[in-house]
Every structure is written in structure tokens, then in C-alpha cells.
Amino acid sequence: MKFGKEFTSQMVQEWQEAYMDYNDLKTILKDVLFCRRKNASPLPDSGTPRIFLKRRLSLYRAFSGLTSRYSNKGSPRNLDKEDEVILVTSAMQQDSGSEENYQSVFLMSSEEGGEVELMFFRRLDAELNKVVKFYKLKVEEVMEEAEKLNKQMDALIALRIKNDYHAVAFRGDNGGTGSSQATSSPFINERKPGMSNLDVIEEIEMRNEGNWEKGMKPAIESPSEGNKGKAKLMDFKRASLGVLNHVKLNVAPETPVLTLKSIVNSSKSNLSFSKEELRKVEEQLRHAFAEFYRKLHLLKHYSFLNHLAFSKIMKKYDKVRNQVLLVLTASIRLCAGITSRNASKAYIKMVDSSYLGCSEEVSRLLERVEATFIKHFANGNHRKGMKTLRPKTKKEKHRISFFLGKACGNVNLVPEFTILKPNDQGLFSGCSLALMVAIILIIQARNLLQSEGRVQYMDNIFPLYSLFGFIVLHMLMYSGNIYFWKRFRVNYSFIFGFKPGSELGYREVLLLSSGLALLALAAVLTNLDMEMNPSTRSFKAITELVPLGLVTVLLLIVFCPFNVIYRSSRFFLIQCAWHCLCSPLYKVTLPDFFLADQLTSQVQAFRSLEFYVCYYGWGDFKRRSNRCRESRVYEIFYIIVAVIPYWSRCLQCLRRLFEERDSQQALNGLKYFLTILALFMRTSYDLKRGVFWKIMAAATSGVATIFNTYWDIVIDWGLLRRYSRNPWLRDKLLVPNKFVYYAAIVLNVMLRLVWMQLVLDFDDAPFLHKNALVAIVASLEIIRRGIWNFFRLENEHLNNVGKYRAFKSVPLPFSYEDEEKGS
């Protein structure tokens, strides 16, 4: 792989504008090469090959001895100066105080085509200053963050000492003998006459701190050292417990009950010394250190990658500059060293002396963070600590190719989706296709669509299996989203907050969807013609319970506590779903409201679950009959289960409105409220019918459709910008083909209008059952949501890029009084 592609692939995508523009500089070098070849080309009318070498006048002056600058003693150095191409300087900018501005002066601008090389160096200087400025800014930010983490560790150490002191005091008051106390507590063994328990704990903490900082043996090695050991001990920073008088413990509420208590009582919690709070503090700081270490690692990689890019581009420049245009004969090629000029050495020396090349703050911080984390969070276990700080990279597994097929390879190697060939299919995908073909052939061969039991089957069995169709389709769309997010370098794992190495790729999601499709299609085939064909009519409880058994298996897999079938991803999904259900008692994060948006497109899936309860609870499933539509309770819950996702999303908007003071969240909440109203009117018309309900359903659905469509395109996607560089789109686009965005806008509008089909009575198709039409409309809504997902996350990614936001903001457990006053 060429360096340009490697350079792009290893960028932190949110910082991509802060990297050196390697491709643009390469383009300028191509212009330089073109100008040099043009100026050094042989005469076209010459019959004999000639070579034209440009020589500077100073060469003749040097050899003629007319100047006294070039003496024999200094000839090597002077020859190097004679071949100098650039002069490099670093000057202080007048407008920015102490900030340095690196410049290079091109000495050959008078040559033919020299203006192109002059433009190259001006652009190169601009890129260097941009990179150095950004790197220095980020280093200052991490240094400030390091100071905050240092103060957090001071409070944590003091809190640990306080808890240990209470534990020691409790054991001392236990009524046991002195010998038993001395053997049970390591602190009592270290106790000297006249020292309290707290002094002993502080001394041990300081001793360990000093050993870690200095990398030396314990300061107090033997009683004979006396005052000498005490003097060494006083050099270390004393762990003061007075810091606890100036901090407050801000452990975020993790349950709805704690959230309600914090609202009723006070939003600030006083510092206490319970072990449970200490555990939460340690967990938050462990997460903060891991994220801080990742930030330092990427910042160091940013410095290394840009330094390497400057080295590569200068080597390319030297190659272009030193290239001698040859006129080949049958047996002659001239040597390319006659006009050799080396400019990279001087420029790279300037890069090395810049803040980008000589700063060591990041490397030192990395070492200190590693040592601190291993000592305080891994009990000195280096392997355990580094395993937390540097999680292993995700490895591809061969069993995925076995079950899914080898056509779905690595996303970096596959430029576009590959059509599955019969010999490339895996176990799940191949069997699913075979079962689908078998079902179609059975329906056609037995003419089941015209059988007597067709209506009974569509009313009772089809809604049960349509649930799995909705889930599989949504998973297929999500796998497609992941594929294109990776292809267009959208950092979806950072946006969703996935733990590094635990996120699912599109192949894993395809594997899960194909496995679920295989189970569902096999279940459909088991009782496809039961009751639909009179000749094979059979009523057996075991065959009618197949859909219920399949749902039970699916729920058991989702809630399985064992580490199988991507447990971390399953638990992450369950956590986000629980946050959506308990809205607004949890702080709203992007994964929570993104999942809530997905659930709004699965209204028919929730209604299918309600039908499961009614059919197997109150229906006569052995005879394939139910009276769910005749139940008043079923009608009420038919509306409630459809409203729950929208109501949850509306409460999330209200929570964000009160926390972030963003008026846009009020409009977003109004959007979901109008959708709830339209859904209620549409469902009421579907259940009751009548002109009044039809007018109300049409009016509310029309308003909600217009509002939702505008919000999708303008707010969520960031498109339809009137003065954008890309007409009616936005300034930055990840997809090169602009037609994709225009097609997505039109398709979103059309699929939004499908909402109106029930209101306008387009469902009275004689050749299509009503449940089938509802399933088709629900599937189109899932497809629309899949399209929405890509452009929504693309817009979020571009917002992060614009703000150079590449890391999560981790809440810290302690707040100092001076920080609160300053804020």
C-alpha cells in the first residue's frame, strides 16, 4: 500500500483536517516535475540525441577563482552551500505572542518553473504551522486534564486512607486481644510508639508513593538508618487528608430511584465514606484513566504520522528535484547525480526542532499514566493494568465465514457488495435461501393462496411470523449501515460509545440475522399448509406452539447471562432499551435516543408481540381462531404499545431540554407529540371507522408527516442548505456521488407518505390481505429508517470532525470547591 493511502487510513477521522494535506502537496510536486521536464526537454529537430543540463553561473565563478569566498580549506562546506535549495527560519508571530512561525526561503525561484516550487514550499510551511499549532493546543489540553486527574487521585487516595482508617479503628475496638489485632492488621505491625493508626497509614502510603516515583528501595530500610531514612521520607509528597474537606462526591445516579431522590433532595451529594461509593469512584476514575490514555496514545500517533508525512514528501521533492531528464540511446543512460541537490535534510531538521518533533510531554504522560494505573487500579499487576489500558484488537473468526459465507470479506478489501454465488454461501445463508425457495414452491404447487384456509391463516399465523421478518429486515439494514459507515470512514463505534474491540461488524450482524431467518423459515415450513389445505388439515398443539417456542428461544438468547453470542453487545442493547423505557429518569445519551428512534419504526413488531399474548393467552390457538379485535382491552393496548416508543422519545427530548437548555429539543419533542396524536387518530379510525375519525386521522397524519420529513432532511441529515458549496446539500459530504443525497431525499419523502395509505383506504386491495399490506408498509418504514441511519450518523460524524471531537467526555467523581466557584 502506498504511503498516501496508509496515511489516510491511520488518521483520527475527527482530526483529519488538522493533518498535513499530503495529497495536495503531491499534486503540486507533479506540477513541479512537469515544469522541469518541459524546460529540460531535447530539441525536436535534432538528429543526434542531446542532453541539456542547466548550470548556475556561480559554478563557473567558483572554478575560475575570481571570488575569494571559496577557499580550498572550506571547499566541502562551500560546495554544500552552493547546492542549497532552501533556507529555513523560525520567527515569532506578532499577533500570537510567543507562538513560532516556521518559514522556508526557496533560493531557486529565478529558475524556469521556480514559481511552482516556491508555491510548494509556501504550502508546506502552512501545513507545518497548522500541524504544530494543533498539536501544541492538544498537548496543552491534555496537560490541563492531567492536572485534573492528579487532583482526582489525591482525593481518591485520601478517601482510601479514610476508609482503611475506619476499618482499622473498627478492628481495634473489637474487644479482641492485642496480639490478635497485631496479626490481623498489617498497619498495626508497622505501628511505632506514639503513632496513631492514621499516621501509620499515611506513612505506608507515602513510602509506596516514594518507591514508585523514584524507582528506588524503601526509604526506611532498617532502624539503624534513623533520621536519614526520615529525611528521605520527607522528600515525598505527604498524602493529606485535608483535601476531603474541600471536595464533594458526585457519583451520578445509576437507578431511577436515586434520580428521583436527587431531584427531591439536593443535586449535590455530601462526601461520605461508604465502600459502595468508593467502588463507584474507583470505577469512574478507572474509566477516565483508560480514556485519557487512549487520547495520549492517539496524540502521540498524530505526531509520529505527521512527522513521517513531512519526511516522505521532502524525499519525493528531492527525487523530483534531483531527477535528470535523460535522452536514451541504444546503449547509453547518463548517471543521475550530477545536479543532485538535497533539500530534505534542512527542512526535516527544522521539523525535528519544532514543537512537533522535540516535545516529550506526551511520552512522559504516557509513562506516568501507565505507572499510576498499574499501581492504584491493578494492584501492581503490570499485565492486568496494560490489558485494561490497551485492549486487544478484534480478530476475525473463521466460524463466521463458515456460517455466513466467504463472499462477505473484509470491508477494506471489498469495494462494493459482492453477489453471493452458490459455492460462496455459508451454512446459515445457504439454508435460508433453500428454505425460502422451498416455501415459494410449496405455495405455488399446492395453490395455497386460493385455498379455503387462506384467510384463517393470514388472521392467526401470519402476524406471529411477521415479527421475525421485521427483526431480520432491521438487522439487515443495520448491517448495511455498518458496511457503508466503515467504507466512508464514519467512526460509528466512537459515536455509539462502544467499548473498543467489542463493537459488532457488519459480518457479525449478518450472521445473526441469517441465523434468525433460518429458524423463522424452518418454523414457517413446519406448519405452512396446516389448515390452509383441507386435505392436510391437522390440529396439533405442538405444531401450533412453534411460533411461541421460537419467541421463547429468541428471548432466552437475548437475556442469556453467559458469555456466548456477543454478550457485551446484547447487554449494551438491553441497557439502552431499559434507559428508553425509564425515560426521563436516565441521562440521555446518543445510543439511547438512537435506539428509541429505531423502536419508533418497529410499531408493528410491538403489536405482533401483543398479538402473541392475546392469541396464546385468550385465543383458541388449537383451532387457529381468536377474538382479539373484539376485546376492548386489546384495542386500548393496541394503541398503547404503538405510542410507547414515541412517548419515550418525547420524554428524552424534555430531559435534554431541561439539562442542555436547547430550544431545539422543545421542537423535537413537539414533533414526537404530533406523531403520537396522529398515531392515536389513525389507530382509532382503523378500529372504529367513520368520517369524523377519518378526517382527524388525515389531518394529524398530514401535519406529522410534513414536520417529520422536514426534520429528517434538514435537522437530522443537515441537508437542504441554501448557500452550501454543494447546491441544496451541505458543505461537507462523505459520499462522492451527490446523486445519492438527492435520491435519499426523494425516497424519504415517498416512504414518509406511505403513512397515509391506511387513512386514504388504499388498503382495500382484493388480491392482498390487509395483514400482508400492513406488513409491507411496516417493512418500507424499516427500510426508510435504515436509510435515515446512515445519513444521520454521517451528519453526527461531520459535526465531531468540525469540532475536532474524537474522545468521550468522562464525568469525574470529585468536584473541588474552587472549581465550582470558578465555574
Q: Which residues contact 532 (CB under 8 A, 6 or more apart)?
A: 448, 451, 452, 453, 454, 456, 457
CA distance 728 to 306: 35
The residues facing 105 across adjacent strands are 87
CA distance 89 to 84: 14
**Quick one: 326 exposed, middle or buried, by C-beta within 10 A (0-12, 13-18, 19+)?**
middle
Q: Count the Cβ atoms, other than its own, within 10 Å of residue 307.
A: 18
This model's pTM is above 0.85: no
Residue type, 152: Q
Could you tell me if 234 and 206 are in contact, meaning their C-beta atoms sit under 8 angstroms apart? no
The residues facing 89 across adjacent strands are 103
Q: What angle do CA 20, 21, 27 make, to 5 degrees?
A: 140
Q: What angle do CA 230, 234, 237 make, to 5 degrees?
A: 145
Could you tell me if 249 and 222 are in contact, meaning their C-beta atoms sit under 8 angstroms apart? no
Q: With H, G, I as helix, E, B as strand and everything else as coil, classify residue 90.
A: strand
Could you tell me if 606 and 466 are in contact, meaning their C-beta atoms sit under 8 angstroms apart? no
Burial 662-694 (b: 16+ CB within 10 A, else e): eeebeebbebbbbbbbbbbbbbbbbeeeeeebb
**What pLDDT is attached to residue 158?**
82
C-alpha neighbours within 13 Å on the C-beta side of residue 686:
22
CA distance 36 to 30: 10
**Quick one: 290 exposed, middle or buried, by C-beta within 10 A (0-12, 13-18, 19+)?**
buried
Residue 110: name the closest of 89, 85, 88 by CA: 85
CA distance 650 to 668: 8
CA distance 458 to 465: 10
**What pLDDT is attached to residue 96?**
45
Q: With H, G, I as helix, E, B as strand and everything else as coil, classify residue 248.
A: strand
CA distance 298 to 285: 20
The helix (run of H) or strand (run of E) holding residue 17 is none
The residues facing 102 across adjacent strands are 90
Could you tell me if 601 and 588 are in contact, meaning their C-beta atoms sit under 8 angstroms apart? no
Name the grid cell of 20: 498535513
φ, ψ of residue 87 to 5 degrees: the values are: -120, 135
**What pLDDT is attached to residue 560?**
92
Percentage helix, strand, coil, to 5, in the chain?
Answer: 65, 5, 30
Could you tell me if 665 and 653 are in contact, meaning their C-beta atoms sit under 8 angstroms apart? yes
Name the grid cell of 188: 498495626
Rounded to the nearest 10 degrees, what angle do helices 590-600 and 770-802 cross at?
160
**What pLDDT is attached to residue 781?**
93
Secondary structure (DSSP) of 688-745: H--HHHHHHHHHHHHHHHHHHHHIIIIIIS----TT-SSTTS-S--SSS-THHHHHHH
Residue type, 306: N
Could you tell me if 553 and 563 are in contact, meaning their C-beta atoms sit under 8 angstroms apart? no
- CA quadruple 778, 693, 641, 547: dihedral sign: negative
**What pLDDT is attached to residue 119?**
84
**What pLDDT is attached to residue 406?**
58
Q: Count the Cβ atoms, other than its own, within 10 Å of residue 58.
A: 12
410: left (phi over 0), alpha (psi -120 to 50) or beta: beta
Residue type, 242: G
The CA-based diameter of the chain, rounded to the nearest angstrom, is: 116
CA distance 733 to 548: 46
CA distance 718 to 43: 57
Q: Which residues contact 49 (CB under 8 A, 6 or more apart)?
A: 42, 327, 328, 329
Name the grid cell of 67: 571570488
**What pLDDT is attached to residue 452?**
74
Could you tell me if 644 and 606 are in contact, meaning their C-beta atoms sit under 8 angstroms apart? yes
Q: Count the Cβ atoms, other than its own, within 10 Å of residue 451.
A: 18
Residue type, 821: K
CA distance 787 to 798: 17
Domain spans of the chain, in order of start: 398-404+424-804
CA distance 119 to 24: 12
The residues facing 88 across adjacent strands are 104
Low-confidence spans in the chain with pLDDT less than 50:
43-82, 94-97, 170-171, 173-238, 266-269, 324-340, 407-423
Burial 129-161 (b: 16+ CB within 10 A, else e): bbbbbbbbebbeebeebbeebebbebbbbbbbb
